[in-house]
Structure 1
Amino acid sequence: MTDAPTDTAAARVAELKREAATHAIAYIEDGMAVGLGTGSTAEFMIDALGERVRREGLKIRAIPTSEASAAQAQSLNIPITNFSDDPYLDVAIDGADEVQTGSLFLIKGRGGALLREKIVAVSARKFIVIVDESKIVKDLGTHMPVPVEIIPWGWERVENLLRKTGAKSCVPRRKEDGSLYMTDNHNIIIDCDYKRIEEPRALADRIISITGVVDHGLFLDITSEVLVAGASGLQRLTA
């Protein structure tokens, strides 16, 4: 009985994500090259997009940001393309772990796909982010750490250097069996908790300057629009 409120809250969050995802795919038109995000919210979006492909005969080409998203898209008969054939995308749609009001700066990467997500996002003419209202924050880092993707060799050295960027803690992401989590790119992730990030651009520059860092989960000056699903309905945020 004690789990009922939690289950109800989780179901409500899932419904909000589904609502935002459904609205987001309205941006997708026939003939477009589309970037597909990764994570629980993106899963709803890919499902909804697959339904449009099935019902409307929508003709698109997609670049997924993870092996999981690629498998989901293929199972729904969404055609997969690549950057050789489509160097620029018309639109990319993804979720986020945190969205800063005003700037629309993001923290992304809890799903482990931050590098491919960023490549796809910066390759899109329009980058649409879909979230539920719990992801909106005044300051980045309020609830979520910043994932940093690094090469496996010498990761302990990189972890020590990341701690000097002002992080309260830096923890290598691990699987349930205790082994290091590996991304689709065969890299590892260090989750750095800053509690509150006062200068996101300066922090991003410090992190990326560390040799061994591949990229980080700070998405700055990339987002075109955020669709926020909440109890009062859908809200559109623009920078």
Structure 2
Amino acid sequence: MTAEQDPIKVMKQEVGKAAAARVQSGAIVGLGTGSTTAYAIEYLGQRIKSGELKDILGIPTSFQASVLAKQYGIPLTTLDEVDHIDIAIDGADEVDPQKNLIKGGGAAHTREKVVDALADLFIVVVDSSKLVDKLGSTFLLPVEVIPMAMTPVMRAIEKLGGKPELRMGVKKAGPVITDQGNMVIDVKFDSIDHPAELEKTLNNIPGVLENGLFVGVTDIVLVGEVKDGQPSVREF
């Protein structure tokens, strides 16, 4: 099946393109992680190559984003070198009606939160399956933990009413290791009624680096949909 025939792939490309189209020359851009954001990075590269965009600097949120940026010719910088980020583009695993997110399916949520929270404009790119009435309804909440604290953190999460599980590698024996060298606990909460409070409570557990709740950070959500086989993008 080619991209032309696969409406979901075309839709992800269109959402990525719509986000990349909002970047202006001279911008410092936060480059997110994941399949839809990968298309945004690709289209940014195309706009640079064609001369339409000039003087762009990218700040990657993961090893994946860094590799893609190099592949598509986007010059990279670091947070030590710049004093602001104009725009960040990133995906999400869940988006609620208040534009709060759960992220971390790719285990990159710690660096993503640093970059996305610094950006003047944070654009989230998703397909409509990621829209939920309440966070935690379809996706487990990722929590990045330093390895020595794994067991006490899991106990503390259980006391909060969560069911924690260490994320294991696929095609790799043992746990998933993040770009920071830590582990990820995926937590099932029956209901996340107060995301802002839970975000702070989890981050206050000693040994927790960061969790995947992004509250009050998102400015714009671009949603890709496939209707009657036709991909479309709407702003949420």
Structure 2's unaligned 5+ residue stretches are none
Quote how far apart the aligned CAs of 1:45 are: 0.9
Matching residue of 1:174: 168
Quote how far apart the aligned CAs of 1:31 are: 0.6
- Pairs within 5 Å for 1:76-91: 76-91=72-87
- Pairs within 5 Å for 1:191-210: 191-210=186-205
Quote how far apart the aligned CAs of 1:175 are: 0.9
Quote how far apart the aligned CAs of 1:57 are: 5.1
Do the aligned partners of 2:168 and 2:174 also contact (CA within 8 Å) in 1?
yes
Tell me the secondary structure at the aligned position of residue 223 of structure 2.
strand
Matching residue of 1:112: 107
Matching residue of 2:145: 150
Do the aligned partners of 1:127 and 1:224 also contact (CA within 8 Å) in 2?
yes
Partners of 1:100 and 1:189 lie apart in 2 by: 23
Do the aligned partners of 2:7 and 2:226 also contact (CA within 8 Å) in 1?
no
- For residues 42-97 of structure 1, the C-alpha deviation after alignment (integer angstroms, 9 at most, x for no partner) is 11111111111111252200000001110110111110011122121000000000
Matching residue of 2:68: 72
Tell me the secondary structure at the aligned position of residue 210 of structure 1.
coil
- Pairs within 5 Å for 1:129-168: 129-167=124-162
- For residues 151-170 of structure 1, the C-alpha deviation after alignment (integer angstroms, 9 at most, x for no partner) is 01131111111122221x21
> What root-mean-square deviation, in Å, do the aligned CA atoms of Structure 1 and Structure 2 show?
1.8
TM-score norm. by structure 2 comes to 0.92
- For residues 145-200 of structure 1, the C-alpha deviation after alignment (integer angstroms, 9 at most, x for no partner) is 11000101131111111122221x21111113331111001111000011431111
Partners of 2:25 and 2:223 lie apart in 1 by: 25
- Would you say 1:234 and 2:233 are equivalent positions? yes
- Would you say 1:185 and 2:175 are equivalent positions? no
Matching residue of 1:219: 214
Tell me the secondary structure at the aligned position of residue 21 of structure 2.
helix
Do the aligned partners of 1:165 and 1:206 also contact (CA within 8 Å) in 2?
no
TM-score norm. by structure 1 comes to 0.91
Partners of 2:136 and 2:235 lie apart in 1 by: 22
Matching residue of 1:125: 120
Structure 1's unaligned 5+ residue stretches are none
Do the aligned partners of 1:131 and 1:227 also contact (CA within 8 Å) in 2?
yes
Do the aligned partners of 1:97 and 1:108 also contact (CA within 8 Å) in 2?
yes
Give the letter for the 2:123 counterpart: I
- Would you say 1:97 and 2:96 are equivalent positions? no
Aligned length: 229
Give the letter for the 2:235 counterpart: R
Do the aligned partners of 1:87 and 1:123 also contact (CA within 8 Å) in 2?
no
Displaced runs of 4+ in structure 1, greater than 3 A?
Answer: none
Partners of 1:164 and 1:219 lie apart in 2 by: 22
- Would you say 1:53 and 2:52 are equivalent positions? no
Tell me the secondary structure at the aligned position of residue 170 of structure 1.
strand
Partners of 1:137 and 1:29 lie apart in 2 by: 31
- Percent of residue pairs identical: 37
Tell me the secondary structure at the aligned position of residue 88 of structure 2.
strand
Partners of 1:57 and 1:80 lie apart in 2 by: 18
Partners of 2:114 and 2:200 lie apart in 1 by: 17
